Structure 1
Amino acid sequence: MTDGIGILGSRIDLDQTRVERAMAEFRAARPVLVIGEDGAALVCGVEGLEAPLAEALARLASGTPRLVLPAARLRRLGLDRTLPGRVALPTIDLKRIEQLALVIDAKADAPVAPADTLDETALELARLALTVPVVVVVPVDAARLAESAVERVGIAAVKNFRQNEVRRLRIVGRAPVPLEGAPETEFVVFRGGEGLRDQVAIVVGKPDLSRPVPVRLHSACLTGDLFGSLKCDCGDQLRGTVEWMARNDGGVLLYLDQEGRGNGIANKMRAYRLQSLGFDTYDADEVLGFDLDQRHFDFAAEMLKQLGIAEVDIMTNNPVKVEALRESGLKVVSERRVIGRPTDENVRYLASKRDRAGHIIDTDALFARLKAGE
């Protein structure tokens, strides 16, 4: 006789499912019960937090509620922090939460204590759910919620979620899809990895897997890839890479669900609004509570391995991508730069990526091209 786990799935599968459900609850502005060795708490994001829910959480509290903020947001509040922290909430005051979490020019108005493991777990849930990474944490007696429908998840399950998704990565579909300028192209769809959708490998031509394969890791950019936004060079990089591969014996472009450097489309639009007010791309993200880059690339390396690739000629300006592939065990034989057209709207963005994130971009040459009208 079995305990049922062998039939219904492994312990890892069950933990992953619980985290996925918790992510859905976060996105729906409903609380999640996070359970650790030292206690439990109801946690919810600040997005969609309204008075009826705040009042219900306050009634259930067995200790002082708190607002947990990431280090990036604490820096915008005027504090020199590299780790997340928490502010006590004697009452769950929505105006005060909004001030600390979202107001551009706010300052810290109360002591900020170090975040504990449960706090950091709540922040990770917000990041996984692609919501603003600021959370309300309400200590509760878990026994009082035994009969409730609230979703519950363990700290370890959230901590291990990303790495388990890499292990579960698998191909779920593939088909030839001829493209303009690259008629011999195959789309290979993977389930798992990062984000909330599937990942796609675009195999252009017939690359020789016994030699270094030209590879690009391309994070999805709805505004640039699809609509031709002038604020970035993503669309040019995407199409230019595929065209180059078609002319040069093939290659593989990984199209990764990492919109807005892993922050999600909603947060990307919030950051764009801040950029319209004068913030650069990284300062805008910091106002929202995000560090320079939230992306991970270990799952991208696993995609390449499942396609039979061991050595790569990587097409990127981002040294983090190069190092990530090397750390995964792939051999990076060479690097190629990928630069799109400069515009009045994107040169500051490109300069920020060079100066603040170490991207290898010759902005002097870009400015010269822009001046020449190329």
Structure 2
Amino acid sequence: MQRAIGELRAGRPVKLLGHSGKAHIVAAAEVLGGERVSAWHSTTGGAVGLILPAPRLLHLGFVAQGPSRIELAGLTADEIDSMLLAVDTSVPVVPLRPASETEATALELVKRAYLLPAAVVLPADSMINTPIVDVTTNAVNDFHELAARDLSVAARTRVPLAGAADSEFVIFRGGDGMHDQLALIVGQPNPEKPALTRLHSACLTGDLFASLKCDCGDQLRLAVSEIASEGAGILLYLDQEGRGIGLLNKMRAYGLQELGHDTVDADAVLGYGPDERRYEVAGAMLALLGFRKIILMTNNPGKITALENSGVDVVGNRRLIGTINPHNHNY
């Protein structure tokens, strides 16, 4: 799976093996670009389809209940590019049909690579005579569960923090996209008692640069302060930039917000749902640390449900309020 992600990000296709044994060639439309997609379509006799998610299709003016396949016959390279990133809705009217199970999985595979959710798909016998990386639909669909299962503690060390001098950093190898994950343990929480816990999604702009477009940095520092005041607790710092869409797409969404879209609408224009994060890895991190019962600091009921589905007993909830300013009031 990791090799397939790397290949897609490098602009190379991979082979996706479905349940029936039928194989498809999959590439990331964003990396290929309209010219190469159009060339593929021509050289394969029209076998290439473009798979887009419902939020993107709805923005473009199509009626779609789920991921769908666009037939590319008659589309120019520029028109194909407009299907991927155009903000306006002046795109050609083209045939559309619901994506097959394998085609929908191809879209998920591209998303796992933190690329725009737009997949180029064609039958494996249409082109590519050289060996390429293959991945099964099961591996794509089970990605988050398998990543959580493969998680392991790689290093841990004391790191005194301002306002929380008795702190330890625990680094986990693995996780979504094979990104290392971090747990901050403040004090000496007792595994036999519910630990005050915060799940914090990494936010480069807010946490490091004090961006005013969100309250992430405020919430991070407030969570550490409240855990320190409690005497002990855990903060999981999860590599989930932009609610799971990655830094590049987060910046694209910020650009759309400058045009008047709110956070959710901007993500939808790009083809994403309101929140692309998953929390199987968070549950695995807590299990490896020896904690099964927690009091969760969150304003998001979805986090509670996700953790409970991962085997964590959330016995209490505390809200965490950031700072509202003119730049983040629509966040």
TM over 0.5, shorter chain: yes
Change (3 A) 1:59 1:94: closer
Are residues 1:104 and 2:104 paired? no
Q: Aligned ranges for residues 86-125 of structure 1 at < 5 Å?
A: 86-90=69-73, 93-106=76-89, 107=91, 109-125=93-109
Deviates more, 1:114-123 or 1:192-201: 192-201
Give the aligned CA root-mean-square deviation in angstroms: 1.9
**Alignment match, 1:227:** 209
Partner of 2:125: 141
For residue 197 of structure 2, the aligned residue among 200, 215, 219 is 215
Determine the C-alpha separation between the residues in 2 that align with 1:94 and 1:52: 5
How far did 1:60 drift? 5.7
Superposed displacement of residue 145, structure 1: 4.0
Query: Partners of 1:55 and 1:68 in 2: how far apart?
Result: 14
Matched, 1:128 2:112: yes
Aligned-partner residue type, residue 96 of structure 2: V
Give SS of 1:186's match.
strand
How many residue pairs are counted as aligned between the two chains? 329
Given that residues 62 and 139 in structure 1 are in contact (C-alpha distance below 8 angstroms), is that contact kept between their aligned partners in structure 2? no
Question: For the Cα contact (< 8 Å) 1:35–1:41, is it kept in 2?
Answer: yes
Deviations 1:225-251 (A, max 9, x none): 000000110001111111111121110
Map 1:257-272 onto structure 2 (within 5 A): 257-272=239-254
- Secondary structure (helix, strand or coil) at the match of 1:347 reads coil
Q: CA 1:280–1:173 in structure 2 vs 1: closer, same or farther (change >3 Å)? A: same
Equivalent residue, structure 1, for 2:274 = 292
Verify the 8 A CA contact 1:225 1:235 in the aligned structure 2: yes
What's 1:7 paired with? none
Aligned position for 1:69: 52
* Conservation of the 8 A alpha-carbon contact between 2:56 and 2:272: yes
Contact 1:254 1:300 in 2 (8 A): yes
Q: What is the rounded CA distance, in whole Å, between the counterparts of 1:73 and 1:57 in structure 2? A: 23
TM-score by length of 1: 0.83
Is the 2:182–2:236 Cα contact (8 Å) retained in structure 1? yes
**What is the Cα deviation at residue 127 of structure 1?**
0.8
Question: Separation in 1 of the partners of 2:260 and 2:178?
Answer: 30
Deviation at 1:255, TM superposition (A): 0.4
Deviations 1:29-86 (CA, angstroms, capped at 9, x unpaired): 2222223335322221122324774366346637621110001111112234331001
User: 2:61, 2:55 → 1: CA distance?
Assistant: 10
Equivalent residue for 2:325?
A: 343
- Output the CA distance in 2 between the equivalents of 1:323 and 1:316: 12
Matched residues, percent identical?
46
Of the structure 1 ranges 32-41 and 330-339, higher mean CA displacement relative to structure 2 is found in 32-41
Alpha-carbon distance in structure 2 between the residues aligned to 1:51 and 1:325: 40
Moved more, 158-167 or 260-269: 158-167
Distance in structure 2 (CA, Å) of the matches to 1:52 and 1:276: 29
Q: Provide the residue aligned with 1:13 in structure 2.
A: none
Maintained 8 Å contact 1:79/1:108: no
Q: CA deviation at 1:101?
A: 1.9
Q: Which deviates the most, 294-303 or 193-202?
A: 193-202
Structure 2 unpaired stretches of 5+ = none
Aligned equivalents of 1:104 and 1:283: distance in 2? 11
The residue identity in structure 1 corresponding to 2:98 is P
For residue 40 of structure 1, what is the aligned residue in structure 2? 23
Q: Residue 304 of structure 1: CA displacement?
A: 0.6
The equivalent of 1:277 in structure 2 is: 259
Indicate yes or no: 2:331 matched with 1:322.
Answer: no
Q: How far has the Cα of 1:130 moved from its partner?
A: 0.2
Check conservation: 1:63, 1:138, Cα contact below 8 A. Answer: no
Q: Report the Cα distance in structure 1 between the residues aligned to 2:59 and 2:47, rounded to whole angstroms.
A: 25
TM-score, length of structure 2 as denominator length: 0.93
Greater displacement, 55-64 / 169-178: 55-64
For 2:61 and 2:35, the matched residues in 1 are separated by 31
CA distance in 1, matches of 2:145, 2:75: 34
User: C-alpha distance in 1, partners of 2:198/2:221?
Assistant: 11
Deviates more, 1:189-198 or 1:89-98: 89-98
Q: In structure 2, what is the Cα distance between the partners aligned to 1:329 and 1:35?
A: 31
CA contact (8 A) 1:179 1:185 kept: yes
Single out whichever of 127-136 and 37-46 deviates more from structure 2: 37-46
* CA distance in structure 2 between the partners assigned to 1:245 and 1:327 by the alignment: 24
SS of the residue 2:142 aligns to = helix
Structure 2 matches for 1:76-91, cutoff 5 A?
76-90=59-73
Aligned equivalents of 1:108, 1:298: Cα separation in 2: 40
